Structures are given as structure tokens and as C-alpha cells.
């Protein structure tokens, strides 16, 4: 019995050394690769424009939220030649808006009228399925936006969940996430997030 145990242990050790944890596409590995991806970790930005803007922009859903929070106000003005279609609004921060946005706008942009404001990060909720076909796999997952500040909380108040599907490919060193949008057969993470569908 002892003679049989030693070769069996040696064989199991050889198999264990030859396989890495990335050789098996599990839900945990897929979640780690998706959540750790630079594409997934990119912060959602909101571009806020003050000064003279078309009325249609001022009436957009995002600007309506800012108006309801009393962060911006506007007055009707005539449109300059480079701003169309009329009518136009001259948008300014209210005192409450100045206080809210002060720490969100970099000092280098304080004189500008077009601001990039970070508002939310993605949060991976769960891996909902893995479909393998040889050295390729499609991984379905759900995610949501999580606000990083007060402005983000106002714009993403519902906690809506999204479903996406992304491609994985098995290489000699294990499974890798398809991140770009240049894959022939599979959807990369960037495209998977852009084409996300609201969860039902």
C-alpha cells in the first residue's frame, strides 16, 4: 500500500505544478479579471458647461437634475453665431453649486466654462454565467454605477443594474479578458460595457 501511495502523490504533485489557477475559468477568476481591468475601473465623467448654451442642452435630463438641486441657474439670452439652435441660456453656478462643485473641478480648469466632473465608478455585482467553447469563452455579468460624490448621487440615484457579456481567451499562461474592441469573434470589455442592457 505504501509503495502505491508514493507514486500517486508524485503524480498529483506533477499535475498540480503544471496547472495554474488561471487555467480554469471559474466565476471567481472571471470576476477578478473583470473588476481589476483598467477599462472597468474607469471613472464615469460628467461634462458640465456653463456660459451660453443652447436651450436644448439646458433642458437635458442631467441639467434638469442640477437645476432641481439648485446648483445651477440660467437666464434667457440671444445666441451667439457659433451656438445653435436658438434660444440660448446663460448658465451659472448658484452659491450652493459653487460649494458643491468647488472640490470636484481641478484648479487648472477653474477659469474654463467646460468642466469634467468625476461622478461614478462601476461595481461588479456578480458573474451570471460562463459559456466555454474550446479556448474561447463568453462571460455574462451584472454591474451598476456607484456614485463617488454628491453630484454622482444626484445623477445616478436609482442604482440601476446592467447586464453585459464579455469574451475571454485561453492562452498558454491561462485565461485572459478580451479588453479591446478589435477581437474578431468576441466582444471586448470596452464594447461590452458600452452595449450593456438594463437588467430586468
In a domain, 9, yes or no: no
Same domain, 108 and 127: no
pTM beyond cutoff 0.75: yes
Q: What is the DSSP letter of 22?
A: G
**Helix H or strand E segment including 46:** strand 44-49
| Cβ atoms 137, 168 nearer than 8 A | yes
Q: Is residue 63 part of a domain?
A: yes
Same domain, 103 and 194: no
**Do residue 129 and residue 194 come from a single domain?**
yes
Residue 103 sits in the same domain as residue 137: no
Q: Same domain for 139 and 181?
A: yes
Within a domain: 6: no
73 and 135 share a domain? no
β-partners of residue 162 are: 143, 198
- Regarding whether 194 and 98 lie in a shared domain, the answer is no
Res 4: pLDDT: 59
Question: Do 183 and 95 share a structural domain?
Answer: no
What confidence tens digit (pLDDT) does each residue in 20-60 have?
A: 567 899 999 999 999 999 999 999 999 999 999 999 999 99
CATH of the domain at 29: 3.10.450
Residue with cell 507514486: 7
- Nearest CA to 89 out of 144, 140, 49 is that of 49
Q: Is residue 10 part of a domain?
A: no
The answer to whether residue 17 is domain-embedded is no
Q: Return the exposure string of 6-17: e unless at least 16 CB atoms fall within 10 Å of the residue's CB, then b.
A: eeeeeeeeeeee
Judge if 57 and 38 occupy the same domain: no
Exposure letters 92-122 (e unless 16+ CB within 10 A, then b): ebeeebeebbeebbeeeeeeeeebebebbbb
Domain shared by 126 and 88, yes or no: no
75-119 confidence digits (pLDDT tens): 999 999 988 888 999 999 999 999 999 888 877 776 788 889 999
User: Is residue 93 included in any domain, yes or no?
Assistant: yes
Task: Clarify whether residues 31 and 57 are in a common domain.
Answer: no
Report the pLDDT value the prediction gives residue 184, as an integer from 0 to 100: 65
Q: How many domains in the chain?
A: 2
Query: Is residue 182 situated within a structural domain?
Result: yes
Shared domain for 80 and 129, answered yes or no, is no
**Count of beta carbons in the 10 Å neighbourhood of residue 89:** 22
| Residue among 64, 66, 48, 68 at smallest CA distance from 56 | 64
Q: Which domain holds residue 100?
A: 51-112
Residue 177 is assigned to a structural domain of this protein: yes
Q: In terms of pLDDT, which residue wins out, 157 or 41?
A: 41
In DSSP notation, 32-62 reads HHHHT-HHHHPPEEEEEE-EEEEHHHHTSHH
Amino acid at each position: 500500500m505504501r509503495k502505491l501511495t508514493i507514486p500517486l502523490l508524485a503524480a498529483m504533485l506533477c499535475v498540480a505544478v503544471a496547472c495554474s489557477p488561471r487555467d480554469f475559468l471559474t466565476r471567481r477568476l472571471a470576476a477578478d479579471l473583470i473588476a481589476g481591468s483598467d477599462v472597468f475601473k474607469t471613472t464615469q465623467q460628467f461634462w458640465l458647461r456653463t456660459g451660453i448654451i443652447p436651450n436644448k442642452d439646458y433642458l437635458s435630463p442631467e441639467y434638469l437634475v442640477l437645476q432641481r438641486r439648485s446648483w445651477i441657474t440660467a437666464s434667457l439670452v440671444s445666441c451667439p453665431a457659433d451656438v445653435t439652435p436658438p434660444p440660448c441660456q446663460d448658465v451659472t453656478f448658484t452659491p450652493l453649486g459653487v460649494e458643491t462643485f468647488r472640490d470636484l473641478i481641478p484648479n487648472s480648469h477653474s477659469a474654463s466654462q467646460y468642466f469634467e466632473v468625476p461622478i461614478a465608478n462601476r461595481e461588479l455585482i456578480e458573474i451570471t454565467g460562463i459559456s466555454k467553447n474550446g479556448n474561447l469563452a463568453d462571460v455574462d455579468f451584472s454591474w451598476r454605477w456607484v456614485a463617488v460624490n454628491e453630484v454622482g448621487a444626484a445623477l445616478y440615484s436609482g442604482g440601476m443594474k446592467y447586464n453585459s457579456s464579455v469574451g475571454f481567451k485561453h492562452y498558454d499562461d491561462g485565461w485572459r479578458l478580451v479588453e479591446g474592441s478589435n477581437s474578431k469573434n468576441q466582444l471586448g470589455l470596452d464594447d461590452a460595457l458600452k452595449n450593456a442592457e438594463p437588467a430586468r
